[in-house]
Amino acid sequence: MHEREQGRYVVPRLFSYFARSMGKKQPFQLPADIANASSLMFIDSGDLVDLLFAAPVINFFGTNFPQIKTTMLVRNADAELVKGLMRVNVIISYDPRQLKLYSADYLALARKLRKRKMDAVILLDRHFSLERHLLAFASGARIRIGFEHPLSFPYINCEVRLSERGYEGRNMPRILQAIGVKLGEGWDSVSLMPRDVQHARQLKHFWKPEKDLLMVGLDPSSSKTRHHVIPEIIAYLANNLASRRRAKFLIFANPWDDKLVKDLVGELKGEIIDLKPENLSETIALLSQCDLFISGNTNLFHFASALGVPSIGLFTKFDRSGWIPESAPNVRIFQGTRGEKLSLKDFFSIVEEVLATRAVSSTER
């Protein structure tokens, strides 16, 4: 371990030492003690895409174990989306400032969770977060499940090691499989609130009443690997698409990627739909109504994939195969090589392929 990494883990190791000395080891059996639990809490990771990946798993509990009262701890900004994606009994939202380890707000949040007397806790974070792992420990839950990490114990007493490297979106169900919970057919479907979808459909009809006109979503945001496709490339492909097919563009992006949006808009030659979603739920609902979605390896790319939207992922050399959705006929990856000219022939070919999948979608369109 590098010296810098050792320094970063000094505080977690100190907390681990005290947690081990204070904590009581309680035996448990899996999957029996999960199936027979009366309360189960999920703790978010702070990453929006992890909510998408966890939604089918959480909904699985709601459908197959209705006697378990489920609680979701999530950021304020994501709470409304959780209501639309997940079947949970209780949502506890927090401001990111509450996760300052030494603040009074953090201690109050820990006490609040402990009062709920959870039987089990599942962390969505694929990495180690002292603040979230410590909340899991402070909850007093007998079973605390999460992904394997050298610092996870004693915060987590059931660590799941991923033996195979597949799509990141399949890691959460692997947790259930690891503890012996069997997933039924259709467990992985993702759907949105009908009222949100209906509203988005109405907006789409207002801005694009012609059926043969494509509503193409574009997202120039930074990718999951903290890199991004330069806006000029997205515009180049979009402009050439608009020269062959009638299309209007709808721009999606993270608020902090405003410069990338301005650069993209400045390069686009086609008509842009002047529509800005009011919140995250409306953003996802509008995304579900796109006829085609083009972006890098962004959060919305994975939402589009899960919702059955015909999608083209513009991947860079930094976007490893673990970010490519598995068994997603509505998705194609277009990966360019630096210094080589993009093949428009290949691009148009995959556009036609994904557009042919519009009739087969997990979201009623």
Of the residues 178, 205, 228, the one at which a domain ends: 178
Of the residues 132, 153, 178, the one at which a domain ends: 178
Return the number of other C-beta atoms located less than 10 Å from residue 23's C-beta.
Answer: 13
> 58 and 154 share a domain?
yes
> 23 and 170 share a domain?
yes
Q: Which domain holds residue 235?
A: 194-355
Q: 85: part of which helix (H) or strand (E)?
A: helix 79-85
Q: How many domains would you assign to the chain?
A: 2
Rounded Cα–Cα distance for residues 312 and 347 (Å): 9
pLDDT for 13:
65
**DSSP-assigned beta bridge partners for residue 39:** 69
> 32 and 116 share a domain?
yes
Rounded Cα–Cα distance for residues 123 and 139 (Å): 12
The reply to whether 20 falls in a domain is yes
CA distances from 119 to 40, 145, 203, 300 (A): 6, 11, 44, 33
> 255 and 315 share a domain?
yes
pLDDT for 21:
55
The reply to whether 245 falls in a domain is yes
Q: Report the amino acid identity of residue 294.
A: I
**Residues 75 and 280: beta-carbon distance below 8 Å:** no
> 169 and 225 share a domain?
no
Rounded Cα–Cα distance for residues 263 and 268 (Å): 9
Rounded Cα–Cα distance for residues 40 and 30 (Å): 14
**Residues 219 and 293: beta-carbon distance below 8 Å:** yes
362: tokens are 């997990």
Of the residues 136, 152, 178, the one at which a domain ends: 178
The reply to whether 268 falls in a domain is yes
SS3 state of residue 65: coil
The reply to whether 239 falls in a domain is yes
> 221 and 149 share a domain?
no
pLDDT 10s per residue in the chain (365 long)? 444 444 566 666 666 655 665 555 678 888 899 999 999 999 999 999 999 999 999 999 988 999 999 999 999 999 999 999 999 999 999 999 999 988 999 999 999 999 999 999 999 998 999 999 999 999 999 999 999 998 898 899 999 988 767 899 988 888 888 888 888 777 888 999 999 999 999 999 999 888 889 999 999 999 998 888 899 999 999 999 999 999 999 999 887 788 999 999 999 998 999 988 888 999 999 999 999 999 999 999 999 999 999 999 999 888 888 999 988 999 999 986 665 677 899 999 999 999 998 755 544 44
Domain of 300, CATH number, reads 3.40.50.2000
* Phi-psi group of 348: left, alpha or beta (phi > 0 → left; psi -120 to 50 → alpha; rest → beta): alpha
SS3 state of residue 182: coil
The reply to whether 188 falls in a domain is no
> 167 and 207 share a domain?
no
The reply to whether 51 falls in a domain is yes
pTM of the model: 0.91
> 221 and 327 share a domain?
yes
pLDDT for 339:
59
> 222 and 133 share a domain?
no
**Residues 135 and 113: beta-carbon distance below 8 Å:** yes
> How distant is the alpha carbon of residue 27 from its chain centre?
33
> Hunting for tokens 């959480």 — which residue is that?
58
Strands of the sheet with 214-219, listed across from one edge: 271-272, 247-251, 214-219, 292-295, 311-315, 331-335
> 72 and 114 share a domain?
yes
Q: 144: part of which helix (H) or strand (E)?
A: strand 143-147
**Residues 208 and 270: beta-carbon distance below 8 Å:** no
> 198 and 164 share a domain?
no
> 98 and 8 share a domain?
yes
Return the number of other C-beta atoms located less than 10 Å from residue 141's C-beta.
Answer: 24
Q: Report the amino acid identity of residue 236.
A: Y
The reply to whether 362 falls in a domain is no
CA distances from 1 to 5, 7, 362 (A): 6, 10, 44
The reply to whether 249 falls in a domain is yes
